[in-house]
Amino acid sequence: MKLVKTLALTTAVAAALFTAPAMAQERIALVVKTLGNGFFDAAAKGAEDAAAEIGDVEVIYTGPTSATAEGQIEIVNSLIAQNVDAIAISANDPDALVPVLKKAMDRGIKVLSWDSGVAPEGRQLHLNPSDTDLIGENEIGRASCRERVCYAV
């Protein structure tokens, strides 16, 4: 009798696993200017933390070993072939990446730039960590000026 119960339970679990819809995991590629940079490593850690909080999101952290547009283009082509859901890129060259990112968007991949932007026609959104005017205003506001020379403090 125990064997029959075990077989029935095993069959029920297997049937549930095979008939349940698979959870679709979103794959988001974080393409940085170059690997081994502490700023980008910290951004990757933040992306991983956010993905864990959201759930069902895989972050692919990648970038070239040297900061070149050619390296990023090669990586983006690979990500297109992998059919990722989104590419978030910090551009080494805002214009050189446009053709390959247009190709990604044509394939239904969401594209955004962050930190160092891509030209508008090569992305759907740009996230800038700060505005250069705002940085300047803050620096001048904190400056110490003596005899027409200002020093940031």
Res. 2: pLDDT tops 60: no
Res. 11: pLDDT tops 50: no
Residue 46, in any domain of the structure: yes
Res. 146: pLDDT tops 70: no
Longest dimension (CA), the chain: 97
Q: What pTM does this model have?
A: 0.73
In 3-state terms the chain splits into helix, strand, coil percentages (rounded to 5) of 45, 20, 35
Res. 45: pLDDT tops 70: yes
Residue range 7-17: mean pLDDT, rounded: 32
Residue 77, in any domain of the structure: yes
The vertex-126 CA angle with 98 and 71, nearest 5°, equals 40
For residue 145, the model assigns a pLDDT of 54
Residue range 140-153: mean pLDDT, rounded: 54
Q: Which domain holds residue 48?
A: 26-135
Residue range 126-141: mean pLDDT, rounded: 74
Residue range 104-115: mean pLDDT, rounded: 96
Residue 76, in any domain of the structure: yes
CATH, residue 119 = 3.40.50.2300
Helix (H) or strand (E) holding 79: helix 69-81
Q: Is the dihedral of CA 97, 102, 108, 113 positive or negative?
A: positive
In eight-state DSSP terms, residue 75 is H
Residue burial 60-85, b: 16+ Cβ < 10 Å; e: rest = bbbbbeebebebbbebbeebbeeebe
For residue 66, the model assigns a pLDDT of 94
Structure tokens, 27: 């794959």
Distance, in Å, from the CA atom of 84 to the CA atom of 55, rounded to the nearest integer, reads 16
What confidence tens digit (pLDDT) does each residue in 73-105 have?
999 999 999 999 999 999 999 999 999 999 999
The larger pLDDT score, comparing residue 76 to residue 148, is at 76
Residue 6, in any domain of the structure: no
| Residue 29, beta-bridge partner list | 60, 87
The domain tally of the chain equals: 1
What confidence tens digit (pLDDT) does each residue in 123-133 have?
999 988 776 77
